Amino acid sequence: MTFDYDLFVIGGGSGGLAASKRAASYGAKVAIAETDLVGGTCVIRGCVPKKLMVYGSHFLSLFEDAAGYGWTVDHPRLDWEHFITSIDKEVRRLSQLHISLLEKAGVELIPGYATLLDPHTIEINDRKITADKILIAVGGRPSKPDLPGMEYGITSNEMFHLKTQPKHIAIIGAGYIGTEFAGIMRGLGSEVTHIVRNHLILQGFDQDIRTDIQAGMSNHGIKIVPNTEVTAIEKLPEGLRLKLSGEHEEAVIADVCLVATGRYPNVEGLGLQNAGVDVVPSSVEEPGYCTTCAIAVNEYSQTNQPNIFAVGDVTDRLNLTPVAIGEGRAFADSEFGNQRRQFSHETVPTAIFSTPQAATVGMTETQAREKLGDAVTIYRTRFRPMYHSLTGKQERIMMKLVVDANTDKVLGAHMVGEDAAEIIQGVAIAVKMGATKQDFDATVGIHPSAAEEFVTMR
Q: What is residue 291's predicted lDDT score, i.e. its pLDDT? A: 55
Q: Does position 285 have pLDDT exceeding 90, yes or no?
A: no
CATH number of the domain residue 378 falls in: 3.30.390.30
Q: DSSP readout, 262-300? A: -EEE--TTS-HHHHT--EEPPEEEETTEEE--EE---TT
Verdict on whether the full-model pTM lies above 0.85: yes
Tell me the mean pLDDT in the region 153-173: 97
What is the band of 405 on the pLDDT scale with cuts at 50, 70, 90?
Answer: very high
Neighbours of 448 (CB within 10 A): 8
On whether both 289 and 216 belong to a single domain, the answer is no
Dist CA 413 CA 359 (whole Å): 8
On whether both 50 and 95 belong to a single domain, the answer is yes
On whether both 70 and 156 belong to a single domain, the answer is no
Tell me the mean pLDDT in the region 397-425: 98
Residue 351 lies in a domain: no
Residue 119 lies in a domain: yes
On whether both 234 and 158 belong to a single domain, the answer is yes
Which residues on neighbouring strands pair with residue 110, listed in sequence order? 33
Q: Does position 411 have pLDDT exceeding 90, yes or no?
A: yes
On whether both 15 and 123 belong to a single domain, the answer is yes
On whether both 99 and 10 belong to a single domain, the answer is yes
What is the band of 158 on the pLDDT scale with cuts at 50, 70, 90?
Answer: very high
Q: Are 301 and 309 in contact (CB under 8 A)?
A: yes
On whether both 198 and 167 belong to a single domain, the answer is yes
Q: What is residue 282's predicted lDDT score, i.e. its pLDDT? A: 56
Q: DSSP readout, 310-339? A: E-GGGTTS---HHHHHHHHHHHHHHHHSS-
Residue 371 lies in a domain: yes
What is the band of 308 on the pLDDT scale with cuts at 50, 70, 90?
Answer: very high
On whether both 378 and 403 belong to a single domain, the answer is yes
Dist CA 421 CA 418 (whole Å): 8
Q: Does position 358 have pLDDT exceeding 50, yes or no?
A: yes
State how many domains the chain has: 3
Q: DSSP readout, 350-395? A: EEE--SS-EEEEE--HHHHHHHHTT-EEEEEEEE--GGGGTT----
430 closest CA partner among 441, 419, 420: 441
On whether both 177 and 112 belong to a single domain, the answer is no
Domain boundary among 304, 336, 368: 336
Domain boundary among 237, 261, 285: 261
Instruction: Judge whether 194 counts as a catalytic residue.
Output: no
Domain boundary among 199, 227, 261: 261
Long-range CB contact pairs, 275-279, < 8 A, 24+: 275/116, 275/117, 275/118, 275/119, 275/134, 275/305, 275/308, 276/119, 276/304, 276/305, 277/116, 277/136, 277/303, 277/304, 277/305, 277/308, 278/303, 278/304
Percent of the chain at pLDDT > 70 equals 98
pLDDT tens by residue, 93-134: 999 999 999 999 999 999 999 999 999 999 999 999 999 999
| Mean pLDDT for the chain overall | 96
On whether both 127 and 58 belong to a single domain, the answer is yes
- Number of helices and strands (H, E) in the chain? 13, 25
Q: Does position 234 have pLDDT exceeding 50, yes or no?
A: yes
Q: DSSP letter at 117? A: E
Which residues on neighbouring strands pair with residue 134, listed in sequence order? 8, 308
Residue 343 lies in a domain: no
Q: What is residue 145's predicted lDDT score, i.e. its pLDDT? A: 92
81 closest CA partner among 56, 117, 112, 55: 56
Tell me the mean pLDDT in the region 159-186: 97
**Could you tell me if residue 427 is left (phi over 0), alpha (psi between -120 and 50 degrees) or otherwise beta?**
alpha
On whether both 307 and 257 belong to a single domain, the answer is no
On whether both 205 and 296 belong to a single domain, the answer is no
Dist CA 180 CA 442 (whole Å): 35
Q: Residue 382: which domain range?
A: 357-455
Candidate from 32-46, 281-295, 338-352, 365-379 with smallest mean pLDDT: 281-295
Residue 348 lies in a domain: no
What is the band of 293 on the pLDDT scale with cuts at 50, 70, 90?
Answer: confident
Q: What is residue 290's predicted lDDT score, i.e. its pLDDT? A: 52
Amino acid occupying residue 110: I
Tell me the mean pLDDT in the region 427-453: 98
What is the band of 287 on the pLDDT scale with cuts at 50, 70, 90?
Answer: very low
Residue 349 lies in a domain: no
Q: Where are the beta strands (DSSP E) in 81-160?
A: 108-111, 114-118, 121-124, 127-136, 140-142
Q: What is residue 316's predicted lDDT score, i.e. its pLDDT? A: 79
Choosing from 199, 248, 414, 447, the catalytic residue is 447
Q: Does position 238 have pLDDT exceeding 70, yes or no?
A: yes
Q: What is residue 13's predicted lDDT score, i.e. its pLDDT? A: 98
CATH number of the domain residue 202 falls in: 3.50.50.60
Please state, in angstroms and as integers, the Cα–Cα distance from residue 307 to each residue in 276, 294, 407, following that order: 12, 18, 43
Dist CA 159 CA 438 (whole Å): 46
